[in-house]
């Protein structure tokens, strides 16, 4: 099952699938899961390994105040990374991604893009949560969302490391815009990575200011091959991988479309790409 939506400002149709995930047992405060402060540890959903994490407050260029999840490695960071959410908020899956890259040596920040409309949004991939995700998604504007990404970028910039951007679904689309429009907000990422970036075909002609890596599922019925081809034709230098047998959301182990083999390979490629251009 899926829901038709379109990206604001792009006039590009996009479909998000209905997927399953288990409900979170994380502790919450004011409706939001609270990670441990630095010096303590918080376990991610998908592993028992630990990373240091906390929530921080940010202010975007237009004065909007938002929160962001930050995960840090135990030792000195090899680089910094902005993780951009799907349309389900900075939920346990996005936090687990941040925690995972922190264990790889990156200091990671994931801004809460929905804070402009509702605070502490953390949604599952089915039922009423999916409906709410769709409703909130309709409010998203790439221009203001990019301001929120930039706020996270500038916060993590204080670490004095090279910075990459990685995003999933809507976040993949925003990762591409971080590469092509980031300079207007004083963002100059070392590289950007996008997973199943719906709507990217409509902005494929835009010029990225840094190396970009893109992942798509060959069986993704939400993203037409025309979108992938548009990027390939406009930017032969962009690294694009298409995974046989993988659908939309193949990286998320909380979705029914999860494809473990493709997810593992895509992450290995992403990590190598990030280390090459950041570390």
**Cα angle vertex 11, ends 9, 15, to 5°?**
110
Q: What is the pLDDT of residue 171?
A: 98
Name, in order, each residue with C-beta under 8 angstroms of 17's C-beta and a sequence gap of 6 or more.
Answer: 1, 2, 222, 247, 248, 249, 255, 256, 257
Q: What is the pLDDT of residue 279?
A: 82
Q: Average pLDDT per run of 10 along the chain, which is 279 residues long?
A: 34 33 34 35 38 93 98 96 98 98 98 98 96 96 98 97 98 98 98 97 98 98 96 98 97 96 98 96
Q: What is the pLDDT of residue 6?
A: 36
Q: What is the pLDDT of residue 51?
A: 58
> In Å, what is the CA distance from 104 to each residue of 71, 132, 224, 268, 272?
11, 33, 33, 11, 11
pTM of the model: 0.84
Task: Look at residues 138, 224, 222, 147 and name the one whose alpha carbon lies nearest to residue 187.
Answer: 147
d(CA 249, CA 225): 16
| Domains identified in the chain and CATH numbers | 2-18+27-277 (3.40.50.1820)
Instruction: Please report which residue ranges of the chain form alpha helices under DSSP H.
Output: 92-103, 127-137, 142-157, 170-181, 225-234, 260-277
Sign of CA dihedral 108, 207, 61, 67: negative
* Token pair for 142: 């790439």
Nearest 10 degrees: Cα torsion 196, 15, 170, 111: -130
């Amino acid at each position: 099952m899926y829901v038709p939506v379109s990206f604001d400002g792009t006039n590009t149709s996009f479909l998000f699938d209905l997927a399953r995930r288990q409900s979170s047992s994380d502790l919450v405060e004011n409706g939001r899961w609270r990670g441990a402060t630095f010096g303590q540890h918080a376990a991610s959903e998908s592993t028992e390994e630990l990373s240091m994490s906390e929530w921080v407050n940010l202010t975007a260029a237009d004065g909007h105040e938002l929160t962001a999840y930050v995960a840090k490695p135990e030792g000195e960071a090899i680089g910094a990374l902005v993780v951009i959410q799907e349309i389900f908020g900075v939920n346990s899956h996005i936090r687990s991604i941040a925690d995972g890259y922190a264990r790889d040596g990156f200091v990671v920040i994931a801004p809460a893009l929905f804070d402009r409309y509702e605070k502490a949004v953390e949604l599952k991939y089915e039922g009423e949560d999916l409906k709410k995700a769709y409703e909130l998604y309709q409010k998203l504007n790439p221009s203001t969302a990019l301001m929120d990404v930039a706020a996270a970028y500038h916060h993590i910039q204080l670490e004095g490391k090279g910075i990459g951007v990685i995003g999933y679904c809507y976040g993949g689309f925003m990762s591409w815009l971080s590469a092509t429009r980031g300079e207007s907000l004083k963002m100059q990422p070392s590289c950007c990575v996008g997973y199943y970036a719906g709507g990217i075909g409509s902005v494929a002609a835009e010029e990225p200011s840094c190396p970009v890596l893109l992942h798509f599922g060959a069986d993704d019925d939400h993203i037409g091959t025309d979108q992938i081809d548009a990027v390939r034709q406009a930017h032969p230098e962009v690294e694009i991988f298409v995974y046989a047998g993988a659908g939309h959301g193949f990286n998320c182990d909380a979705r029914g479309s999860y494809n473990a083999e493709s997810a593992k390979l895509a992450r290995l490629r992403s990590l190598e790409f990030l280390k090459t251009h950041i570390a």
